[in-house]
Each structure stands twice: as C-alpha cells, then as structure tokens.
C-alpha cells in the first residue's frame, strides 16, 4: 500500500515539473530573476538567503495562491510539518515539526512548537485554529530555536507577521470568498494616514462554513463554524529615531466539534470501559470509508472561543545601536462541547457531558471552560562594532501566565447497559460515570539571551562565526481538583425493574486541592559557521540547543506513595504532584543557501541530526481509558534532509518543490514499571517523506490584467506507523496526496484601483484521508477524523 502511494506521488510530481518545462522558449533573454524574500526569523529584517536557518516563508501573494486562511491550512504546505485538531476541541491544534509536537492539550503542559504574533509568544494552543485576518507573512522555522526564541521550541517556531500601517498613502482592500458548503468570507482592511507621522490600520474579518458530516441527531451539524475578528494598528513616528506601534486584536469563534467515525469494532481490553464494550459496539456504525452523516444521542451543543490581545512596541534607532521593547497582554476563553459516542442515537450508550437524570443522580449540562491570561515583556539591544565586523543582539525576557480549566460541577461523562456477572443471573446493570474537574496554573518565566556574529578579516570577509546563549528560569505551580465516580444501577432482566444502585468508585481517583510546584533552569547554546562561496551561494554548519519546560499531567492519578504499589503491582509514585522534568535537544545541521542561473534558480537545502535526552514520554496506564503517566525516560534520535527549490523557468512560469525526508526513532523508552518499550514507541507525526510541488503560470499579462494558473500537489507519507509500531497500528495514518488549483485574473483597473477574481478548488480528486485517529473509545479500536473533501469557491478582491 505504502509503495503504491509513493509511486503515485512521485509520478504526479514528475508530471507536474516536466510538463511546464517545455514552455521555456529558446530565445528567452533570461533578464528576469526571483524576487528577494525578507524574513525576521533572527529577530531582524534580512534576506531569506542570509538566514542560516531551515526556513519556509509565505508572503501575501503565496498565502492567497495557496488558499492559506488559517494556521490549520499551513501544515499541508510545509513538508515535515503536520497540523491536526485536538480530539475533543477543534479550536485547539496539535502542531508537529520534524515529528516533534504534543499529542495532549493541557493547561499544565506546554507545546514544543512556539507560535509568535509580531514577536509575541502565544502560550496556549487553544484557539490557534482561528482564521488569520490580515497577515503579511508566515515563517516556519524548522528545528530547535532555543537561543533567540527560548523554551518550548524544541520542534521549531511559527512567526505570524501582520501588515503594519504606513503614513505614505490611503490604502483599502476588500476580499469576498464564496464556495460550497455555504462558505462565505469577507475581509476588509484600510490604511489611514492621520498625520505626517501617524497612521491607523483597521481590519475586519467574518467567515462561516458548514461541515461535511451531517448530524442526524439533535443539535448542530459537525464541523459548522463561524468566525469574526478585527484588529486595530497604530504607528506613530515620535521622532526620526523613535517609533511606537500599538495593536489590539479580538476574535470570536463559534463552532460545532466533529465526531470521530468508528472504523473497527473493539477487540482489545478497554480497561475501565470493558463492561460496556459489548453494548456500546452494538449501538455503533462502522465503515472504512468516509460517512456523510453520523448521529448524536443528546443535542450537540455549540462551542465558542474568544481571544483578545494588546501589543505595544517601541523601536529606537541610534547611529550606534537599535533598541526595541515589546510588551503584550492576551486573554483567552474557550468553551468546548464534544460528543464521542458515535452511536445510533439511543440513550442506552453515551459518551458526552450533557445533562443526565436517573437513579444514580441528576446532573447538568457542562461545557469544559479554559480561561487564560498572559503578560510578557521583551527588551532587545542590537548593533555592530569593530568597523561592522561584529554584529550583536542581547535581550531580556519576562513572561507571566495564569489559567484555569473548569470542567465542573459533577456531570455525566459515560453510560451504557452492561452485564453484572458478580450478581445472580437475570440481572443487568446500567453503568454511569460522573466527573468533575478543576485545574489552575500559575507560571512565570525569565530569560536573558545574546547572539553575536563576527566576520574576521580573513578569507576576503567570506567567513562569519555566530555564537548564541540563553539562560532561562521557569516557575510552575498547579492545583488539581477532581471527582470521578462510577455507579451501577441493577435492573431485573425480565421486568426491567430497578433494584438498587451500587457505588463502584475507586477511592484513589478522588483528588481534593492537590498542589504541585516545580522550578526549572536551563542554559542553551548555539554556534554557526557560515562561508560565502560566492555572492549568491552560502554554506553553513550549526549546533543548536533548546529545552522544553517540565510540568504536570492532569490525567495522572494522584496515588499516595505510602499506600505502596497499586493493584497491578506498580508503584506510581505521587502522580500529578510529582510532575515531570524538562527535556533537552541538541541539533546539528549543514545547509546551503544558493541562487543560480542569474538568480532564476534558488536552492536551499540542509541535512540535520537531532538528539533528545530526558524526553517526556506519555503512557496510557493499563486498565484505564484515559489515565496517563508522563516520565522523563526517553531518548530519541532523528536525522533528515530538507530542500526548498524555486525555479523561474521563463518570465511567466515559476516552479517550486519543497521536500523533506525524516528518519525518527525512539532509542530509549521505559514505562512506569521500568520496562524497556522502545520497540513499541513511535513518533506520532513523523512522515518519512513529504513534499509540495507547485507551478505558477502567467498565461497572459496585458494592460487589462494578468491571467494566471496555480497548480499544486501536496504529499504526506504515513504517520504513527511502520514495522516497529504494532501497538499503535490502530492510530496509524495512511499516506495521501492532494491536488489543488487556482485560476484567476488579477490587476484589472477598476474604480481607481484594481480588481482580481479567481476560481479555486482544493482536494480536486476528493481523496479520502484521515488526519487523526484514536484507539481508546469503548465502542471502537480505531476511530478517525477525516480530512477535508473536495471543495471549491470564488475569490473577489478589490485593492485601492
């Protein structure tokens, strides 16, 4: 199966690249070149070709051509990167770069891929699925970025750069998008010069779209979403040297979570849910192919996310140095409701937190609510010395965060008919699980960092040596309150008469005000050696370190160590309060940045090797559905190759290929009992091969406008699988490839500005592919969320 998918992908790639090449005319003078790409990956504006980083950047035109409207759209366009929704919250994204990411989303844990908006760190992955409103550029930094970006970038970093106001002229842009599944989007922005030294930029966005799986039960339809957001930017040139930027943004997302589709019936041991497995499977529909409809038992409730933030930046330019100060404050509120039942809609089997009434008790509808506030300050000093032979940047950083996850009061979570073998024949039971959770965190982080680049007076100034260091300190505090109750109602077999309620609760699952606190300190270093082979070819070698902060696991049972080993013979320690420590990575990379053929061919490539120590490994505890243990008992190695190739074949034809090869292996993994399980543990999202091939072809360029065609093919190899992964075969994700196209006419003169119109299609062949899979539902050993089916639409854009 895998080889066939690879063959199909490579044939598609060859066809895409070979066919347009024939369009080049032998008489072309080649007096054209690729445009320079400016990035801020090293916290300064510089050419992409001068940045010794494995980096992919999308400008405004590329974002438009590729139909990138949200962070969720980026993963399919960046090899070695995958993005998928969290199972019970579609507004939370699990982001992986080079196989490194986090599979669980908790306020007590941090993701290892950092997200930055105009230099401001976004701590929580909740809400990161929101549509982008007015971006100028997105930068994807692959690999550890510990020196300049700090903690929690062991996988990499994502820079979101918004368009800034300018005082030169009034500008206006309006974009409408319509498409299938009731898609409608409106994006409006206006740049308004107020004074010679003051300008405002206003942006507003609204979008709505229906999901592709109908809910035949009560409530909303799976995947329906509606987003509104706005942003206000102000730029004030206080003097010739001092500039102030202020930004306020707010977004509101209303959506209905998707439901996992059951693929295979349950055969394995379901632990706590084993008693209801048989009845639950009878109430479930199974299919290997994507279904157009599923059915909830109770009304599917709407979920909401609200995000707002302030950012204030002062930039002072002196003749000898530059000084920048960034202050930011952000708030997040997320209320998410999910139904994981996937049954036929009868109340005998439920996996939800909706209202419940029965002999076991009456509980209300509960939607888990996450609230978070963060405050950050960063001060940067940069400049040069020694007749510009030494460039430097030093900085201070402070971060403060408080958050709560409220999943209370006690409410229904799971229920089903079940056999009760320990009672007399003729009795059956109705098992009901009630849950209440409340978690709090209070985190502070401080760091100082520095990086310097020296160009010695040798080798014709072609050698550049860079050394960087960062010292970080983290303080993390958390509180856990949890009540988990199991009750069984006994009924007579013949007459369905209620006989009584049995309390089947495990006392060790009751947690009251459990407090946890841990401090972490880290020193990370980097060294880069660059050599300019020519004005357009540069090679580099680098060693880079980063660390991911430790934390606490809310799904870890809090057992008292004085009680000795648990019933399975394993002593789990103090659980939640014990927490887990930081993990560390060291990466080595060799790369080349080059522009050839009179700057018509750009080849940027690298090979890398990363070694992880004290890796945070997450294990499902035997006999449970979702209880886990995180230990620092892992080591891993990964190596790979990445290449970004851009070729301007003719003045009107641009070809692009982005390719990544990744070999990731867990070399050491010990479970909670100390057993070596490295042969059973794999990276969740580490495709061996992935690539994106694209062609931009200008069909006509005249005074009345420019006609162009964009065609792309995105391929992702299998994930969470392979010969070593028998224990995770039910969460394996198959390889897939997706064709996308966009045909449009742009730059048409209209009403003093210009007009553009384009028709687009995504997943043109309607490929069925799973984007995430789980194996711990009582009614199924394998359940999946499907990727987007074929979609199409029309863009209308006016710019003035």
**C-alpha R_g of the chain:** 28
Judge whether residue 768 has pLDDT over 90.
Answer: yes
Look at residue 566 in the predicted model and tell me its pLDDT: 43
pLDDT at 680 > cutoff 80? no
By C-alpha distance, which of 565, 594, 497, 714 is closest to 13? 714
- pLDDT-derived band at 359, boundaries 50, 70, 90: confident
Pick the residue with more confidence: 5 or 205? 205
Name the phi and psi angles at 640, rounded to 5.
-175, 180
Position 324 pLDDT exceeds 50: yes
User: What is the distance of C-alpha 499 from the center of its chain?
Assistant: 50
pLDDT band at residue 479 using 50, 70 and 90 as cut-offs = very high
Residues 746-767: pLDDT tens digits?
A: 999 999 999 999 999 999 999 9
Percent of the chain with pLDDT over 90: 61
The mean of the pLDDT values for the chain is 86
Strand, coil or helix: what is 509?
Answer: helix
Lowest mean pLDDT among 88-97, 230-239, 240-249, 558-567: 558-567
SS3 for 475-491 is EEEEEEEEEEEEEEEEE
C-alpha torsion 118→184→692→768, nearest 10: 130
Residue 497: per-residue pLDDT: 54
The fraction of the chain above a pLDDT of 70, given in percent, is 87
- Report the 10 Å Cβ neighbour count for 277: 22
Q: For the residues 684-709, what does the mean pLDDT come to?
A: 93
* CA separation for the pair 522, 582 (Å, rounded): 9
Alpha helices, DSSP H only, in 210-362?
A: 277-282
Structure confidence by residue, pLDDT tens digits, 533-551: 999 999 999 999 999 999 9
DSSP code at position 292: S
Q: Out of 265-269, 619-623, 645-649, which region has the weakest mean confidence (pLDDT)?
A: 619-623
- Return all residues near 610 (Cβ < 8 A) that are at least 6 apart: 98, 143, 144, 585, 586, 587, 588, 637, 638, 639
Kindly report the pTM of this predicted structure: 0.89
pLDDT > 60? residue 642 = yes
Query: Are 762 and 67 spatial neighbours (Cβ–Cβ below 8 Å)?
Result: yes
Confidence band of 201 (pLDDT split at 50, 70, 90): very high
Q: What is the pLDDT of residue 633?
A: 75
Phi, psi of 576 (to 5 degrees): -55, -50
Give the pLDDT confidence score for residue 403 in this predicted structure: 95
pLDDT of residue 627: 76
Residue (of 234, 181, 178, 247) closest to 211 by Cα position: 181
Where do the H-state alpha helices sit in 36-93? 60-65
CB atoms within 10 A of CB 754: 16
- Checking if the pLDDT of 133 tops 70, the result is no
Q: Are 413 and 436 in contact (CB under 8 A)?
A: no
Predicted local confidence at residue 792, as pLDDT: 97
What tokens does 617 get? 């490994």
- Residues 375-432 have pLDDT tens digits of 999 999 999 999 999 999 999 999 999 999 999 999 999 888 776 654 445 567 788 8
Band of the pLDDT at 492, cuts 50, 70, 90? Answer: low
**Torsion (CA) 75, 77, 79, 85 in degrees, nearest 10:** 10
Token representation of residue 332: 């997040």
**Exposure class string for 328-346: b at 16+ Cβ within 10 A, else e:** bebebbbbbbbbbbbbbbe
pLDDT at 14 over 70: no
pLDDT of res. 346: 54
Among 500-504, 648-652, 712-716, which is the least confidently predicted range?
500-504
Name the residue with higher pLDDT: 56 or 561.
56
Strands 214-215 and 293-294: parallel
Q: DSSP string of 230-247?
A: EEEEEEEE-SSSEEEEEE
Q: Is the pLDDT of residue 780 over 60?
A: yes
Q: Are strands 183-195 and 753-762 parallel, antiparallel or unpaired?
A: unpaired
Residue 504 burial by Cβ neighbours in a 10 Å radius (0-12, 13-18, 19+): middle
- CB–CB of 724/768 below 8 Å? no
Nearest in space to 221 (alpha carbons), one of 257, 247, 265, 196 = 257
Indicate whether 571 pLDDT > 60. Answer: no
The average pLDDT across 468-489 equals 91
Cβ neighbours, 10 Å, residue 4: 9
Specify the range with the lowest mean pLDDT, choosing from 316-325, 426-435, 570-579, 686-695: 570-579
Quick one: which of 352, 356, 485, 491 has its CA closest to 430? 491
pLDDT of the residue at 269: 78
pLDDT at residue 528 tops 90: yes
DSSP state of 170: -
């Amino acid at each position: 199966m895998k080889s066939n998918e690879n063959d199909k992908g490579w044939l598609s790639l060859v066809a895409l690249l070979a066919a347009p090449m024939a369009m080049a005319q032998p008489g072309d003078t080649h007096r054209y070149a690729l445009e320079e790409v400016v990035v801020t990956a090293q916290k300064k504006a510089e050419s992409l070709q001068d940045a010794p980083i494995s980096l992919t950047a999308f400008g405004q035109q590329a974002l438009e051509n590729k139909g990138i409207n949200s962070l969720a759209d980026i993963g399919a366009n960046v090899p070695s990167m995958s993005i998928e929704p969290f199972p019970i919250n579609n507004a939370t994204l699990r982001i992986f770069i080079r196989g490194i990411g986090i599979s669980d989303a908790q306020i007590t844990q941090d993701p290892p891929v950092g997200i930055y908006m105009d230099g401001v760190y976004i701590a929580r992955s909740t809400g990161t699925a929101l549509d982008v409103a007015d971006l100028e550029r997105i930068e994807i930094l692959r690999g550890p970025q510990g020196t300049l970006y700090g903690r929690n970038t062991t996988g990499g970093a994502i820079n979101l750069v918004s368009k800034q106001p300018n005082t030169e002229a009034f500008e206006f842009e309006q974009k409408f998008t319509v498409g299938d599944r009731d898609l409608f989007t409106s994006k409006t922005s206006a740049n308004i010069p107020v004074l010679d030294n003051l300008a405002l930029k206003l942006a507003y966005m609204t979008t709505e779209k229906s999901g592709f799986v109908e809910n035949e039960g009560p409530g909303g339809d799976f995947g329906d979403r509606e987003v509104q957001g706005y942003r206000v930017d102000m730029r004030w040139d206080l003097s010739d040297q001092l500039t102030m930027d202020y930004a306020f943004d707010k977004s509101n997302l209303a959506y209905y979570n998707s439901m996992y589709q059951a693929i295979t019936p349950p055969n394995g041991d379901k632990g706590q849910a084993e008693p209801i497995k048989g009845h639950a499977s009878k109430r479930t529909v199974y299919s290997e192919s994507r279904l157009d409809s599923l059915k909830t038992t109770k009304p599917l409730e709407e979920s909401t996310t609200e995000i707002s933030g302030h950012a204030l930046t002062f930039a002072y330019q002196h003749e000898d140095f530059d000084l920048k100060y960034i202050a930011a404050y952000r708030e997040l509120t997320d209320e998410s409701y999910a139904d994981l039942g996937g049954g036929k809609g009868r109340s005998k089997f439920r996996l939800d937190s909706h209202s419940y009434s029965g002999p076991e008790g009456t509980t209300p509808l509960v939607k888990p609510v996450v609230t978070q506030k963060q405050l950050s300050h960063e001060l940067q000093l940069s400049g040069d010395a020694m007749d510009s032979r030494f460039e430097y940047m030093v900085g201070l950083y402070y971060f403060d965060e408080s958050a709560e996850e409220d999943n209370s009061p006690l409410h229904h979570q799971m229920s089903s008919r079940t056999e009760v073998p320990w009672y007399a024949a003729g009795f059956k039971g109705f098992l009901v699980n009630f849950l209440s959770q409340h978690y709090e965190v209070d985190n502070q982080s401080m760091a100082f960092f520095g990086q310097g680049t020296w160009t010695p007076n040798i080798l014709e100034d072609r050698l550049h040596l860079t050394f960087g260091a960062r010292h970080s300190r983290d303080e993390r505090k958390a509180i856990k309150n949890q009540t988990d109750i199991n009750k069984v109602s006994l009924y007579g077999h013949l007459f369905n008469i209620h006989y009584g309620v049995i309390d089947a609760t495990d006392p060790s699952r009751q947690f009251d005000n459990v407090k946890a606190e841990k401090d972490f300190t880290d020193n990370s270093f980097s060294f880069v050696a660059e050599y300019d082979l020519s004005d357009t070819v540069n090679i580099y070698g680098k060693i880079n370190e980063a660390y991911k902060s430790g934390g606490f696991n809310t799904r870890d049972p809090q057992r008292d160590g004085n009680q000795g080993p648990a019933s399975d013979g394993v002593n789990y320690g103090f659980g939640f309060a014990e927490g887990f420590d930081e993990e560390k990575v060291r990466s080595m990379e060799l790369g080349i940045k080059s522009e050839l053929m009179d700057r018509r061919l750009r080849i940027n490539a690298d090979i890398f090797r990363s070694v992880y120590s004290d890796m945070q490994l997450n294990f499902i505890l035997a006999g449970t559905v979702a209880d886990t243990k995180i230990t620092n008992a892992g080591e891993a190695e990964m190596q790979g190759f990445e290449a970004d190739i851009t070729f301007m074949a003719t003045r009107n034809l641009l070809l692009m290929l982005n390719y990544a090869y990744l070999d990731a292996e867990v070399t050491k993994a010990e479970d909670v009992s100390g057993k070596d399980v490295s042969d059973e543990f794999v990276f969740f999202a580490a495709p061996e091969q992935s690539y994106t091939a694209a062609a931009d072809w200008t069909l006509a360029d005249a005074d009345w406008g420019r006609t162009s065609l964009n065609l792309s093919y995105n391929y992702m190899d299998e994930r969470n699988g392979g010969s070593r992964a028998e224990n995770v075969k039910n969460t394996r994700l198959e390889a897939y490839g997706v064709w996308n196209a966009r045909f449009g006419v742009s730059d048409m003169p209209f009403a003093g500005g210009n007009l553009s119109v384009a028709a687009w299609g995504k997943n043109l062949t309607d490929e069925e592919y799973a984007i995430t899979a789980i194996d711990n539902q009582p009614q199924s050993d394998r359940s999946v969320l499907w990727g987007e089916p074929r979609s199409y639409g029309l863009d209308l854009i006016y710019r003035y």
